[in-house]
Amino acid sequence: MTVHSKAFGAAAAIGGAALLALGAGMQPASATALPPAAFYSGTNQSGTATPVDLGRAGVCETLSQPALSALNYSAQDIDVYFNPGCRTGAPGTSSDLHFVLGSLHAGNFPYAAVSYRVRALA
């Protein structure tokens, strides 16, 4: 074996050991599982998350705290209301205004959401 071959072999062994040591320290970070749909107290899906009960389609649900944004990874659409009792309209008014959070969508609301209704799958 030549000197060049010995040097290359030693460099390869050292490089391999370094990669193994580096790989052991680079384990994937544990991710927190997201619910299929959730409302958030802050904009852009920030703040406290409130999971959506997708099993109660057609039932008006009241949020435990007002929400400024939401995320929906589910196959169901969610009607979002700015008045209690799933009443349409801007807060304190009556009109046809409400927000539809479609399947596989995220959004910020123009007003704080206080109630919602999950639409049944067709």
Task: Give the residue numbers spanning the domain of 48.
Answer: 37-118
**Domain membership flag for residue 16:** no
Tokens of 61: 């649900």
* 37-40 sheet: strands from edge to edge: 49-51, 37-40, 60-72, 105-118, 78-81, 99-101
The domain that contains 42 carries what CATH number?
Answer: 2.60.20
**Domain membership flag for residue 57:** yes
**Domain membership flag for residue 11:** no
Determine the Cα–Cα distance for residues 2 and 11; give it in Å rounded to an integer.
Answer: 14
Dump pLDDT digits (tens) for 77-90.
999 999 999 999 99
**Whole-number pLDDT of residue 22:** 43
**Domain membership flag for residue 22:** no
Name the nearest CA neighbour of 74 among 113, 112, 34: 34
Q: What total number of domains does the chain contain?
A: 1
**Whole-number pLDDT of residue 8:** 47
**Domain membership flag for residue 53:** yes
Stretches in the chain below the pLDDT threshold 50: 8, 11-12, 15-27
**Contact status, residue 70 vs residue 36, Cβ threshold 8 Å:** no
Determine the Cα–Cα distance for residues 7 and 55; give it in Å rounded to an integer.
Answer: 66
**Whole-number pLDDT of residue 20:** 42
**Domain membership flag for residue 97:** yes
**Domain membership flag for residue 30:** no
Determine the Cα–Cα distance for residues 8 and 63; give it in Å rounded to an integer.
Answer: 65
Which of the 8 DSSP states describes residue 1? Answer: -
**Domain membership flag for residue 112:** yes
**Whole-number pLDDT of residue 18:** 45
